[in-house]
Amino acid sequence: MTSLLFFVLYIAVAALSLPGAAVLTLAAGALFGLVWGVVLVSFASSIGATLAFLVARFILRDSVQKRFGDRLQAINKGIEQEGAFYLFTLRLVPIFPFFLINLLMGLTPIRTLTFYWISQVGMLAGTVVYVNAGTQLAQIESIGGILSPGLVLSFAALGIFPLIGKKVVDWLKKRRVYAKWSKPASFDRNLIVIGGGAAGLVSAYIGAAVKAKVTLVEAEKMGGDCLNYGCVPSKALIKSAKLAHHIRHGADYGLETTEPSFSFRKVMARVHRIIATVEPHDSIERYTELGVEVISGYAKLVDPWTVEIQQNDGQTRRLTSRAVIIAAGARPFVPPLPGLDTVEYLTSDTLWDTFADLDEPPKRLVVLGGGPIGCELSQAFARLGSQVWQVEMGSRVLIREDEEVSELAKASLTEDGVNVMTGHKALRCEREGDHSFIIVEHQGQEHRIEFDALICAVGRVARLTGYGLEELGIPTDRTVGTNEYLETLYPNIFAAGDVAGPYQFTHTAAHQAWYAAVNALFGEFKKFKVDYSVIPWTTFIDPEVARVGLNEQEAGERGIVVDVTRFGIDDLDRAIADSAAHGFVKILTVPGKDRILGVTIVGEHAGDLLAEFVLAMKHGLGLKKILATIHTYPTLAEANKYAAGEWKRANIPHKLLAWVEKYLNWKRR
Ligand SMILES: Cc1cc2nc3c(=O)[nH]c(=O)nc-3n(C[C@H](O)[C@H](O)[C@H](O)COP(=O)(O)OP(=O)(O)OC[C@H]3O[C@@H](n4cnc5c(N)ncnc54)[C@H](O)[C@@H]3O)c2cc1C
């Protein structure tokens, strides 16, 4: 009778999602002993869970969905991908409370019978551990009994059970993904890295530094995008353009203002010379010396451990490796504009070589895209003498930044002669004889722009096809899908850099590379979650736009309340002396506190100035610490200190000061 009553009570508690299932499970051990307790709880909890599941499915669907909307999303996604196995893992490692799993599962398409038996099997181990702890509790006869070895051990088992469960789930998951592949008995390498850009180079470097046997495969040029088509050539071009700009504005410095005369061919030759100067840092020779085997060729994953390499010398090689890092980068996105292929468009991949053959910059240049790359290139070419139309479909350039930043950027591009056409949609390209045109639409009106060159700078897309991801079934959605350890579906295959996202910077690629390499080589001991908490970036227009952490726009979107402090760089001695007195430092802090949540700097060398805030955020230093740090006079970096000073002024302890004033008055008596 007691058993029956207990059984019904347990079912009721579980079915009605009342609190107390865990206590009842312990009680089962105390009342009925291990075997009978487990039998009762196992069936009662599974039946009760299934009733709660049915209640949710048929009655509570709407209200539960309202209440647990976000958590439900995670569960649903899991069910879609892995169905029953996902429920099994939730039962084994209960990261969500028991009642919540029952209710939320009722809202998914899983079958009732499947839910029942998976719940029963999945919860069995946990039930045994809990009931066992209950049997030990029942044996306490005195206070001293609380510390009996049996009780301590059984409760320790309760504590470590989720960890063991997690290990079991990980092991099961691994078995499932690797099931159809046969693992080599031994491996040629510890690590194979696909791609020799920032992410690949740093991964290989770390591997070699810790004495791993590493092979790096690069299909084209060592150094990848950054060295050959991205950061390095664009910054070299920007420098020449800035000099031309200064010459043109000589009067600002008490010099004669003249129109700069130069050979564009020489400017481009300098760009290539600078690439060549940086090249040795990323060269095959350097990496070979560091202990990395570098193979020039195209790599393809043929199974989770084997990479086939079509070498550039025509040979094909297969190598096995315990771990692989995919660092295949991204390529420029070419929009599907009708007629685009009739007008010989350029991208960041092709413009450097194409323009190297020109004596003059293109007379009429269209730049598609109002992002960082589009803005940098538009301004640089305008300063070098091109007539530039920058076409951006959105309402403003640099859309990720605050509106006032976009306005400043637009104003400075416009001042340099760029025709910044925000709110203009590119419709098509047309070719008439030797003449090329782009047709754009603005507020229902079409405009036709004739150009001599057109650069597509509308974003870059991860390289996801052609090297085995499809065959291995590695999920991709704009980027290679990874978890927080940068593991793909296969825990021995990692991804880093542009191919993995979510950022597309050289420094984030290098940052991820550390995590990918360390997790790939030593993950069985300790895995590190990639840390995106403090990510800085800079758009190298003039004035530069640099940011780390939150801006006002994001704080607003995410409903985060912040204090905003500004310091205008127009008030800074050094900026005034340099005729660069424009821009600002804007700091977002926790209300009433000096903890920095984000910083935006617009101004000369903003990217360099930002470093102090990046350090502060990374290491939890507040604005008071920046204020208490000596900054050399007169430097641009003083802007950071003055901005911190502005914060201090806004947070004056008025009450305390009133007492100080009283005290000082009294001292004069
Ligand atoms: C114009 C421009 C300006 C930029 N400016 C900046 C800047 O100022 N600051 C900044 O931080 N970032 C900047 N970037 C972005 C930066 O260049 C990238 O974020 C960075 O290069 C990403 O590095 P990665 O290693 O992920 O990829 P990549 O550098 O693209 O390297 C990937 C490499 O993998 C190789 N590869 C691909 N598939 C295979 C295969 N199957 N087998 C063998 N090899 C393969 C490719 O050939 C390539 O060399 C800029 C980019 C552009 C285009």
Please tell me if the CB atom of residue 372 comes closer than 6 angstroms to any atom of ligand 1.
no
Residue 143 has pLDDT above 70, yes or no: no
Residue 149 has pLDDT above 90, yes or no: no
**Per-residue pLDDT, 69:** 65
Residue 76 has pLDDT above 80, yes or no: no
pLDDT band at 306 (very low <50, low <70, confident <90, very high): very high
Q: At 263, give phi and psi (nearest 5°).
A: -100, 120
Does residue 594 or residue 87 have the better pLDDT? 594
Residues 530-544 pLDDT 10s: 999 999 999 999 999
Residue 593 has pLDDT above 80, yes or no: yes
Neighbours of 322 (CB within 10 A): 19
What's the token pair of residue 186?
């031994």
Residue closest to 74 by CA, chosen among 104, 97, 54: 104
Please tell me if the CB atom of residue 546 comes closer than 6 angstroms to any atom of ligand 1.
no
- Ligand 1 test: best mutation among 215, 228, 231, most atoms within 8 Å of CB? 231
Q: At 109, give phi and psi (nearest 5°).
A: -80, 10
The pLDDT of 273-295, averaged and rounded, is: 98
State the Cα angle at 151 between 146 and 155, rounded to 5°. 110
> CA-to-CA distance for 514 and 120, rounded, in angstroms?
42
Residue closest to 644 by CA, chosen among 616, 618, 619: 616
Q: What is the mean pLDDT of the chain?
A: 93
- Ligand 1 test: best mutation among 225, 296, 470, most atoms within 8 Å of CB? 225
**Per-residue pLDDT, 553:** 97
* Among the ranges given (124-138, 251-265, 411-425, 558-572), the one the predictor scored with the smallest mean pLDDT: 124-138
Question: Partners of 295 in the beta sheet?
Answer: 217
Q: Would you call 385 helix, strand, or coil by DSSP?
A: coil
> CA-to-CA distance for 89 and 557, rounded, in angstroms?
34
Q: Would you call 97 helix, strand, or coil by DSSP?
A: coil
What's the token pair of residue 172?
């099961």
The pLDDT of 223-233, averaged and rounded, is: 98
Please tell me if the CB atom of residue 301 comes closer than 6 angstroms to any atom of ligand 1.
no
**Per-residue pLDDT, 105:** 84
Buried b (16+ CB within 10 A) or exposed e, 565-598: bebbbeebebbeeeebbbbbbbbbbeeeebbbbb
**Per-residue pLDDT, 56:** 86
The pLDDT of 385-404, averaged and rounded, is: 98
Q: How many CA atoms lie within 13 A of 157 on its CB side?
A: 17
Residues 493-505 pLDDT 10s: 999 999 999 999 9
The pLDDT of 593-604, averaged and rounded, is: 98
**Per-residue pLDDT, 524:** 92
What's the token pair of residue 609?
């100035």
**Per-residue pLDDT, 230:** 97
What's the token pair of residue 471?
């065959």
Q: Can you tell me which atom of ligand 1 is nearest the CA of 300?
A: 41
Residues 341-377 pLDDT 10s: 999 999 999 999 999 999 999 999 999 999 999 999 9
Residue 151 has pLDDT above 80, yes or no: no
> What are the DSSP calls for 577-634, one per residue?
HTT----EEEEEE-TTS--EEEEEEEETTHHHHHHHHHHHHHTT--HHHHHTS--PTT
Please tell me if the CB atom of residue 196 comes closer than 6 angstroms to any atom of ligand 1.
yes
> CA-to-CA distance for 402 and 389, rounded, in angstroms?
23
Residues 172-181 pLDDT 10s: 888 889 999 9
Q: Would you call 307 helix, strand, or coil by DSSP?
A: strand
Residue closest to 312 by CA, chosen among 298, 327, 323: 298
Please tell me if the CB atom of residue 199 comes closer than 6 angstroms to any atom of ligand 1.
yes
Residue closest to 181 by CA, chosen among 471, 456, 385: 471
Q: Can you tell me which atom of ligand 1 is nearest the CA of 513?
A: 25
Task: Look at the block and give the residue holding tokens 């006869």.
Answer: 141
Q: Would you call 320 helix, strand, or coil by DSSP?
A: strand
Please tell me if the CB atom of residue 37 comes closer than 6 angstroms to any atom of ligand 1.
no
Calculated CA dihedral for residues 441, 444, 447, 453, nearest 10 degrees: 0
Please tell me if the CB atom of residue 230 comes closer than 6 angstroms to any atom of ligand 1.
yes
Ligand 1, atom 49, lies closest to the CA of 224
- Ligand 1 test: best mutation among 221, 306, 458, 506, most atoms within 8 Å of CB? 506
CA dihedral (628, 634, 638, 639) positive or negative: positive
Residue 130 has pLDDT above 90, yes or no: no
CA dihedral (470, 473, 475, 479) positive or negative: negative
**Per-residue pLDDT, 555:** 97
Contact between 224 and 200 under an 8 Å Cβ cutoff? The reply is: yes
Burial class (CB in 10 A: 0-12, 13-18, 19+), 134: buried
What's 17's DSSP letter?
T
CA dihedral (120, 124, 128, 129) positive or negative: negative
Cα–ligand 1 centroid distance for 181 (angstroms): 31
The pLDDT of 545-557, averaged and rounded, is: 97
Cα–ligand 1 centroid distance for 475 (angstroms): 21
pLDDT band at 63 (very low <50, low <70, confident <90, very high): confident
> CA-to-CA distance for 68 and 53, rounded, in angstroms?
15
**Per-residue pLDDT, 97:** 79
> CA-to-CA distance for 385 and 243, rounded, in angstroms?
12
